[in-house]
Structure formats: C-alpha cells, structure tokens
Amino acid sequence: MILVVAWLLQFVAGRLIGIFRRYMTRRASGADETRRIDTVASALRSLAAVIVVLVGGMLALSELGISIAPVLATAGVAGIAIAFGAQSLIKDYFTGFFLLVEDQIRQGDVVEIAGRSGEVEEVTLRYVRLRDGDGYVHFVPNGEIKVVSNRTRTHAYANIDVGVPDDANVEAIFQAMREVGAGLQADPKFGPLTLGETEILGVDRWELWGMMLRCRMRVLPHERDSVRREFTRRLASEFQKRGLRSA
C-alpha cells in the first residue's frame, strides 16, 4: 500500500505541476516567460520525485520491520562526515536554486557557462545540460558556474563586418548598408525578426590591407545568425549593383 500511495502521490504531483505549467503558460506574455515556466516545472518534478522516494522508502523499511531510527541516526552521523567531502555537491544545489530564483538561465537559452557554450536543454538543482553547435552534450555542475553569459535574453545584435580597400567610398557603403537594412525590415519574412533600424558603427579598424567597416541590427534573440546571413547576402548583391569593391 505504501508503494501504491507513493506512486499515486508521484502521479498527482506530476499532474498538478502540469496543470500549473499550462495555467502559467496561458498567462505568459511571451516566449521568454514560457521558457522560464518550463524550467521551473522541470525542477519541481525532480524535487517532488526525490521527496516521495525518500519518505516512501523510509515508511516501507519501517513496515518490513527495519527500524528507521538507527538508520536516521547513522545517516545523521554519516551526514556530518560526508558533508565535509560533499561540499561541492551542496554548492551545486545552492547555486542551482539561485539560478532558478534569479531567472539567470532558462530552457532554450543559448548561454556560455564554465567555458562551455550551447543551447540549454535542461536545468536542475544539480546541473545544467547544454548542447553545443556540433551536437555534443555537456553536463555542467551548477557549482562550477561563476559567470553566466546569456546570448538570448530579450534581444541580440546581428553584427555585419565588411572589409574594403583604403580608397573605398565609405559613405556610399554606409548608405548601401542602410538601404539593405531597410529592405530587411520591409521583408515579410525577415521584418518580424528585426527590432530596430540598421546602426552604422563606422570604421572598426584600419589594417595594411584596408579598412573593416561594421554595422549592426537589433533582432530577436534566436534569429541573430539568420538575419546576419541574409543581410550579408543582400549587401554582397548591393555591392555588385553599385560597383563597390570589398577587400
């Protein structure tokens, strides 16, 4: 009966968390809040499973005639000894808790943490699971996370660099960049992905081979690369039309 009740509690907890997730998703104002809700729901499921297994296991041992008082006493003494060697594990859980509370990482975000970068597939109190651009999966313990660089929060910038000769007509190239950006904003496919006009940053550096010009557009977080590629393609066509040269 204890095992059956434990299974029912786990089932009910899963259903309640699912109802909570759907309710909050309907009230969410955007994709960012939806990803945060999914992240919290996943952590709650893991926490509920741990609690049910611990309580159900102790009750089952008691019914089998195994006194849990010595087990708890032993666990208390062993816990003190283990705590000195498990500080990193405790640190993982504390850091994971604050990562969720402070909303630093959500499922679906593209982040750089502990020297690894990729898309967040799972966030738990113990670790963060990332998948990088090559498809490799990295499990990063939360205790190893010192700085979180979130590349997909609110908005991103699509930076476009163009190398040109020393004698290039810089103002004509800047005008071409503005017109290409305006064309992207008017495009039915790429227009909704942009969040602002083209910003001309000017001459980024001057080398022996020529100059590097840079502009950027503010775009939706996950669309930076797609907008940058399309902007570069259109700018190359615009260079051919205007007879401009790149380095």
The 148-150 sheet, strands edge to edge = 137-141, 127-131, 116-123, 110-113, 148-150
Question: Which runs of consecutive H residues, i.e. helices, occur in the chain?
Answer: 2-27, 31-63, 68-85, 87-101, 170-186, 224-242
Q: What is the pLDDT of residue 74?
A: 58
For the chain, residues with pLDDT lower than 50 are 81
Q: What is the pLDDT of residue 111?
A: 92
List % helix, strand, coil for the chain (3-state, nearest 5): 55, 20, 25
Residue 218 β-bridge partners: 157
pTM exceeding 0.85: no
Q: What is the pLDDT of residue 80?
A: 55
Q: What type of residue is 36?
A: R
Q: What is the pLDDT of residue 215?
A: 95
Q: What is the pLDDT of residues 164-201, one digit of tens each?
A: 998 899 999 999 999 999 999 999 999 999 998 999 99
Q: Which two tokens stand for residue 134?
A: 């090559």
Q: Where are the domains positioned within the chain?
A: 2-150, 156-242
Q: What is the pLDDT of residues 60-86, one digit of tens each?
A: 877 777 766 665 565 555 555 455 556
Q: What is the pLDDT of residue 227?
A: 94
Q: Can you name the CATH fold of 156-242?
A: Alpha-Beta Plaits (3.30.70)
